[in-house]
Amino acid sequence: MFALEQARAGTARRRERWRSWQGRLDPQRLVFIDETWIKTNMAPLYGWGVKGKRLKGLAPHGHWRTLTFLGALRADRLVAPCVFNGPINGQSFRAYVEQQLVATLKPGDIVIMDNLGSHKSAAVRDLIRKAGARLWYLPPYSPDLNPIEQVFAKIKHWMRQEQKRTIEDTWRHIGVLVDTIGPQECSNYLANAGYASIKTGNALATDRDKVHPNRHLNGWTGILQADAYGGYNDLYREDRKPGPVVSALCWSRARRKFFELADIAGNVRKGKPVHAISPVALAAVTRMDALFAIERDINGLDAEARREARQRLSHPLACRKWMDIAPTRRWPSGGAKATLVRFGLPSVWRMRGASSSRWSRRRGQARRWRSSH
């Protein structure tokens, strides 16, 4: 069941805009804040009973207390849990941010919360900014875009099962439940809400420190298709626990340059001469298109059939030999501005301003290579 107000033109536009870029956010930087009620009269909503007979349950009907539980969900844990005796207001929420939340924030974090009136305070925004983080508000009527709502649903379910009837028993059991929420569960909550861009490489961190792929892929083994970024090297070590990751290099770096050097229409738009297009890049782009066509054709086949087709059709196109046939090319512009482009796996190497003598040596090397093959 979703709010009818989501269909309003302004709200729908804001939700669509949010969804258009939420998958590109770094989940490691996201901090989702919200609060929910917990009551001392909570009871199970359903249960097992004798068929054909009404199942009866007992719960306080005249006297109970309402507590407010606040928390902050990250991609790997639930931080800053807090329970208030009674409903929340702007003053108590500010105290929570100042005394609990700020201590868990890191520079570059993005704090995301809904549009509740107690959240929209200049003092709250200033506290978060002083911690080096940013504050974003979700579109109106969009609890489905806040993954912490899934955490609250689980906590409320278990609180109904336990049926704690005193304030102290209630908040103590909430603390027990918070400790049961693990890193993988938190990651699943974010992915289910649409924040599933947990990618390797640049998406893990802005500083490209190799600690981020190691932390993100800790305990995982398998085949990693990525470029030659040095931050992955520790994943391939034989002594890694529980085992080394198998490297499957891709053309992610070379492909971009191939398409730039083979884009006739793009060069025309930029005012570049058409004859400056690299023949090697054209060959590379043609082979890439053929590889993608093969993958589309074998989509849906079983694993063994896909493997056979790739060995028979894709391997001749992707083998390295064709890339070594003419490793050095000269731009027609000539002179001291000559550009040497050497194509090889897994990267593209360029050198500008090469001297004529150096160009002659490389041209001779290429000629000797062709004669020997």
What CATH number is attached to the domain comprising 18? 3.30.420.10
Query: What pLDDT is attached to residue 141?
Result: 93
The last residue of a domain, from among 192, 218, 234: 192
Regarding whether 265 and 237 lie in a shared domain, the answer is no
List C-alpha distances in Å: 67 to 31, 37, 61, 98, 168.
23, 6, 17, 20, 11
Q: Is residue 359 part of a domain?
A: yes
Regarding whether 302 and 232 lie in a shared domain, the answer is no
Regarding whether 256 and 238 lie in a shared domain, the answer is no
Regarding whether 77 and 30 lie in a shared domain, the answer is yes
Regarding whether 366 and 260 lie in a shared domain, the answer is yes
Regarding whether 297 and 276 lie in a shared domain, the answer is yes
Query: What pLDDT is attached to residue 319?
Result: 66
pTM > 0.85: yes or no: no
Regarding whether 358 and 279 lie in a shared domain, the answer is yes
Number of domains in the chain: 3
**Measured at the alpha carbon of residue 195, what is the angle toward residues 193 and 196, in degrees to the nearest 5?**
110
Beta carbons of 111 and 79 less than 8 angstroms apart: no
pLDDT at 350 over 60: no
Q: In terms of residue numbers, what domain contains 329?
A: 252-372
Most confident stretch, 76-90, 215-229, 313-327: 76-90
Average pLDDT value for residue range 33-49: 92
Model confidence at 322, pLDDT cuts 50, 70, 90, reads: low
Regarding whether 322 and 221 lie in a shared domain, the answer is no
Q: Is residue 32 part of a domain?
A: yes
Q: Is residue 144 part of a domain?
A: yes
Q: Is residue 318 part of a domain?
A: yes
Sign of CA dihedral 181, 184, 190, 193: negative
Model confidence at 161, pLDDT cuts 50, 70, 90, reads: very high
Q: Is residue 56 part of a domain?
A: no
Q: DSSP letter string over 343-371?
A: E-SS-EEEEES--HHHHHHHHHHHHHHHH
182's tokens: 């693990």
